[in-house]
Amino acid sequence: MDKTDLKILNALQTDARISLKSLADQCFISSPAISARITRLKKNGIIRDYQANLNYEKLNYHIKAYIQLQLDPAKKERFYPFVTTVPNILECDCVTGEYSQILKVVFESTQVLDEFVNRLQKFGKTSTQIVFSTSVTNRGLKLPDDQDIKSDND
Amino acid sequence: MDKTDLKILNALQTDARISLKSLADQCFISSPAISARITRLKKNGIIRDYQANLNYEKLNYHIKAYIQLQLDPAKKERFYPFVTTVPNILECDCVTGEYSQILKVVFESTQVLDEFVNRLQKFGKTSTQIVFSTSVTNRGLKLPDDQDIKSDND
DNA sequence: GTTGAAACGACACACCG
DNA sequence: CGGTGTGTCGTTTCAAC
């Protein structure tokens, strides 16, 4: 995991569709070398995938919300199939604190969100926070590329 | 915004580095047609950007957390430059409820997270939830591509 | 939206440090 | 082993329809 790898990761976080040649020019090495590095980074699981970031409001998903859930331990088994199946759940984390799960969701309207919350309450007590506005939108982590770092599996 | 557009958006959310030709084959139209559609979707702001999804744990950012903040209204002006500057803040939303801001952050360790929370407390009262595990990782929204939808700006 | 030609980029190989 | 340079193939782009 040297400076070149970090430069590649930063560039791919900013624009995942950048060409190998463009990356090669920025890193002052050849395109085959870039290609080999990206293959390695992906095989090591450092690069998970590449995804287009969409503006969901323009696609009529006007409501974004965070839902906190006190997941009933007895219903844990049925919860994981549930969260992976509902496409409106963009993220789901098991966390410390009074509520054990945080879900990030998008819906067409508050009505549909309400229906979803009702379904979710089968799994435990919920607390919903609707998003007014977003100042930082799901951005990538800018890595310091002026020094090497050690990674778990190089 | 017809079925072909939705197919393209779904494909790009799954793999942003997919080739135009591959998209063309899947949608049964020519590559120049795909290229024109993507250009339009990007100009309309429906496609925001393309980003590589990284495994931050393997890059030594072991701690992911949600921080709730009761932002002091008097310090609002100084808050927005702050959140956009600190790279560890991956997302920041203004929300309903007792706390007005939710921040998603990643840090190298709980110690560094603690230092950050101290800095954040200059802006108001905080409540931190550290992530144990993630069952749904920041995935894209699968759009129903069996029927057309109307968008705000076509 | 389609086609065809030209420009461009990606990949595979042999070679070099 | 990881990088370079060339050649070939596939892809993107542009013009004309």
Residue pair A125/A101 in contact by the 8 Å Cβ criterion: no
List, in sequence order, every residue forming a beta bridge with A108; answer none if it has no partner.
none
pLDDT tens track for A61-104: 999 999 999 999 999 999 999 999 999 999 999 999 999 999 99
Q: Is residue B67 predicted with pLDDT exceeding 60? A: yes
- Distance (Å) from CA B85 to C1' D9? 45
Domains of chain B plus CATH, in order, are: 3-43 (1.10.10.10), 56-130 (3.30.70.920)
Please give the pLDDT value at position A150.
77
CB contact under 8 A, A91 and B9: no
Whole-number pLDDT of residue A148: 85
pLDDT tens track for B102-147: 999 999 999 999 999 999 999 999 999 999 999 999 999 999 999 8
Are B44 and A138 in contact by the 8 Å Cβ rule? The answer is no
Chain B residue numbers with beta carbons less than 8 Å from the beta carbon of A89 are 136
pLDDT tens across B10-40, in order? 999 999 999 999 999 999 999 999 999 999 9
Q: Can you list the pairs that B23-29 forms with residues at least 24 positions away whose Cβ atoms lie under 8 Å?
A: B29/B4
B74-103 pLDDT, tens digit per residue, is 999 999 999 999 999 999 999 999 999 999
Output the CA–CA distances (angstroms, integers) from residue B8 to B13, B74, B92, in the order listed. 9, 45, 28
Q: Who among B16, B57, B153 is closest to A17 (CB)?
A: B16
Exposure letters A95-112 (e unless 16+ CB within 10 A, then b): beeebbbbbbbbbeeeee
Which residues of chain A are under the pLDDT cut of 50? none
Say how far A43 CA is from D5 C1', in Å: 26
What is the per-residue pLDDT for B154?
A: 57
B35, HSE (Cβ side, Cα atoms, 13 Å): 6
Query: Smallest Cα–C1' distance to nucleotide D3: which residue has it?
Result: A33
**Is pTM, for the whole model, over 0.85?**
yes
Q: State residue A103's pLDDT score.
A: 98
pLDDT digits (tens, 9 = 90+) for B48-62: 999 999 999 999 999
The angle at the Cα of A79, spanning A77 to A81, to the nearest 5 degrees, equals 85
For residue B152, the model assigns a pLDDT of: 62
Å separating the CA of residue A86 from the C1' of nucleotide D10 = 38
pLDDT of residue B149: 85
